[in-house]
Amino acid sequence: MSALRLKCRDKVLDLSRPAIMGIVNLTPDSFSDGGQLYAGSRLSQSKTLVAIEKMLKDGADIIDIGGESTRPGAAEVSEQQELDRVLPILELIVSRFDTLVSVDTSTAVVMREATAKGAHLINDVRGLRRDGALDAVAQSGLPVCLMHMQNQPQTMQIRPVYQDVVAEVLAFLADRKQDCIDAGIAAEQIILDPGFGFGKTLTNNLTLFNAIDQFVASGHPVLVGVSRKAMIGQMLGTEGSSQRLIGSVTMAVLAAQRGAAILRVHDVLETKQAIDIWQAITIKEQD
Ligand code: 7PJ
């Protein structure tokens, strides 16, 4: 496959250096920043816009908005709830900011509506396995991130089992990719993601992290999302997601070094600075 770039409607995402995807959780109950954008029980549009503006100023290349919490054990969300959370914010971002917007969803109707409202990328933790999802993305022409997850969010962390985690995740993604191509999605528009923390033990996550190069070898851009996840607390022996910043930034740099093209993060400023330092050194080495 040629140089990595994704066609995102009227924009192009150049992946010759790692892109930073800023996470905007529109749910009241997400992994680490649950409810931050809420005023009481309602999602606050003004708080959300302020958070996004800051991420863009801090150097985010993509804003990833999601209306379903996929943290372990999270409650299921209805299609209508997801639409109500995602669409108004998507419209606001597209009208106010010159950025790429990714929509984190597994639901075909959300994919279709988001495409109609100007989304640039579809990010699906279920790898387009829900009814209608393959067709929705094929018809959108948008790039798509296919992520691996064993089981469902409600059950995924109960007892993940693999014989060979790297081989199984690679095979799963190859299989999903083939289904995408058969449905009419261009291979060049497919991003792969091992799905850190989704039905994986700490050992599984670390084995996969050390195998990022094998995902990169597929020729597809690889997205890595480890920001503030439990594995960081497990490695550090600390409690609470507020203690995970430095570990998250460190892992983002190590992922970039292993060839990750897109880094999905909460802490955009810190990650961007770390990546800029790594890039400056890398470019110097090539002089
Ligand atoms: C990921 C995601 C990830 C992709 C979430 C959280 C949990 N999408 N959505 N990859 N994680 N592509 O942000 O901690 O790792 S939700």
Per the prediction, the chain carries an average pLDDT of 94
Take residue 131 and report the two structure tokens written for it: 């009814």
DSSP state of 241: G
The string of pLDDT tens digits covering residues 129-164 is: 999 999 999 999 999 999 999 988 888 888 889 999
Probe residue for ligand 1, chosen from 69, 124, 200, 264 as the CB with the greatest number of ligand atoms within 8 Å: 264
267: three-class secondary structure by DSSP: coil
Q: Which of 104, 226, 267 most suits a substitution to test ligand 1, by most atoms within 8 Å of the C-beta? A: 104
Output the CA 196–ligand 1 centroid distance in Å.
8
User: Which atom from ligand 1 is nearest to the alpha carbon of 123?
Assistant: 12
Q: Among all residues, which ones are annotated catalytic?
A: 229, 264
Quick check: 191 and 216 in contact, CB under 8 A? no
* Predicted TM-score (pTM) of this structure: 0.96
Antiparallel, parallel or unpaired: β 121-124 and 11-14: unpaired
Residue 271 Cα distances to 58, 64, 89, 151, 212, angstroms: 9, 16, 24, 30, 19
Confidence of residue 30 (pLDDT cuts 50, 70, 90): low
- pLDDT(1) > 60: no
Q: Which numbered atom of ligand 1 lies nearest the CA of 266?
A: 13
Q: How far is the CA of 69 from the centre of ligand 1 (A)?
A: 10
Q: Is residue 216 scored above 90 in pLDDT?
A: yes
Query: Rg for the chain (alpha carbons), in Å?
Result: 18
Q: How far is the CA of 222 from the centre of ligand 1 (A)?
A: 13
Say what angle helices 202-209 and 245-257 make with each other, to 10 degrees: 40
- Maximum Cα–Cα distance across the chain: 54
Could you tell me the distance, in angstroms and rounded to a whole number, from the CA of residue 23 to the centre of ligand 1? 9
Judged by phi (left if over 0) then psi (alpha if -120 to 50, else beta), residue 212 lies in alpha
> Which pair of tokens denotes residue 272?
């961007």
Tokens of 8: 């995102």
- Say what the pLDDT of residue 285 is: 72
Pocket (CB within 6 angstroms of ligand 1): 23, 31, 70, 104, 123, 125, 145, 147, 193, 195-196, 223, 225, 229, 264
**For the segment 222-231, what is each residue's pLDDT rounded down to a tens digit?**
999 999 999 9
Checking if the pLDDT of 32 tops 70, the result is no
What separation in angstroms does the CA of 23 have from each of 121, 164, 166, 213, 260? 14, 30, 26, 24, 17
Q: Which of 36, 123, 128, 205 to mutate to test the pocket of ligand 1 (most atoms within 8 A of CB)?
A: 123
